[in-house]
Structure 1
Amino acid sequence: MQLYAITDGTSGREPADRLIEQAARWAAGGVDFIQIREKHLSPAVLRGLTKAIVAAVRKQNSNTRVLLNGAAELAREAGADGIHLAGERLHEIDAVRLRLPGATLSVACHSAEEITQAHEAGATMALFAPVFEKPLPGGRLAGRGLEELEATCAVADGMPVYALGGITVANARLCMEAGATGVAGIRLFAGEGWLLLR
């Protein structure tokens, strides 16, 4: 089971050192991908944070890849291994490949159709969400379920699909049985429980 940790967007409200240390722990513990999702930061601050996280991960001598939820040029300048794109940005993949040759390109998808589009556009991997119901400010977002996860994995044509949305240590194995390559999350990696998945 591969693991894909996503930062929680609190680096502007907490010391950046905490997030850098957390990324180092994820890398040391065997997390395969770390997505830096700190959209509220200015480009200059995000660049500096990304560089620091990349350096911390590299010190672990791990194979962990750092992906930036942001601009390709910024990812290149910061030394990230790739970027994460929202599904509506699929048209940018060719341009990203020019700026980041050999980069890992992660794409957010919410249906089998979007998984097919991501694969055809040349994405490296897809995050399929939400698999399970998840809380949101002011309500809850219904999950698409394991059957739809299985259907999307079936049409991915070899492209890795990571289950996202309401993933816990208890239900992660069900996602693997449905065909997912791994699991992704924010809350899943907030504590130390994810270590049980290794």
Structure 2
Amino acid sequence: MDFDTSFPYQLYLVISEQDCRGINYLHVAERAIIGGVDIIQLREKELTTRLYLAKAHQLKEITDKYGIPLIINDNLEVAQELGAAGIHVGNHDISPSHIRKAWYSPRPLVGYSIENLEQLKNEQIPLSDYLGISPVFNTETKKDTITEWGLEGIVNIRQRTDKPLVAIGNIHIQNARRVIQAGADCLAVVSAICGSENPEKAAFELKNEILK
């Protein structure tokens, strides 16, 4: 299945079994898609490649059903074997340049997390399809970051690049609109959907905030 590498996606769910807090992650993903999620990333850092791939296959059955791209977090082997739409990496993971050399057909979506402004000057930026601004606000789901960007950080990055910006980090219904107004093209959420008793409603409300 081919996906749009121009990155038109607006609501991005980052999901793991742990983040779903006892609710089946496949159920959460499907309800979130119905509610308005455009793209999903599976992030399972602690699993072996075999188990990661097994979970990814289950999730891909759902994303393919709805024509939603599935992104794999920081595991090129899983992403390629799965036939995922793409891969997302951070500053200390495998580089976009390595990904482009190893995986060029069909062309994958490559996301690259920005943790400091110096990264915007490096050679990885042109090789990335979108930039993850991580975190906008500090969050319990990701503790290994350096910079809390805030809204001013998004404005600053937006002035320095034309790449699509995916904002992540403690984004919820109360601040979603302000993050978009600051210059983000897409909102990535974890707890706002995975931690909700009604993932479909949570996704629907977030999508409406984006579209206002």
1:100 counterpart residue number? 103
| CA pair 184-115 structure 1, distance change in 2 beyond 3 A | farther
Other-structure match for 1:80: 84
- In structure 2, how many angstroms separate the alpha carbons of the residues matched to 1:125 and 1:50? 22
User: What is the distance in 2 between the residues matched to 1:179 and 1:65?
Assistant: 23
Instruction: Check 1:49–1:134 CA distance in 2 against 1; reply closer, same or farther (3 A cut).
Output: closer
3-state DSSP of counterpart to 2:149? coil
Q: Which amino acid aligns with 1:125?
A: Y
Q: Hey, what does 1:195 align to over in structure 2?
A: 204
> Residues 1-198 of structure 1: matches in 2 within 5 Å?
2-10=10-18, 18-60=24-66, 62=67, 64-89=68-93, 92-101=95-104, 102-117=107-122, 120-135=125-140, 143-156=148-161, 158-190=162-194, 191=196, 192=199, 193-198=202-207
Q: Which amino acid aligns with 1:44?
A: R
Output the TM-score relative to the length of structure 1. 0.83
Q: Identity, % of aligned pairs?
A: 24
AA aligned to 1:55 is: E
Cα–Cα, structure 1 residues 33 and 117, in superposed 2: closer, same or farther, change >3 Å? farther
TM-score, reference length from structure 2: 0.78
Q: Which has the higher contact order (CA 8 A, sep 6+)?
A: 2
Change (3 A) 1:124 1:149: same
Given that residues 133 and 149 in structure 2 are in contact (C-alpha distance below 8 angstroms), is that contact kept between their aligned partners in structure 1?
A: no
Query: Residue 3 of structure 1: CA displacement?
Result: 0.9
Give 4+ residue runs of structure 1 displaced > 6 Å after superposition. Answer: none
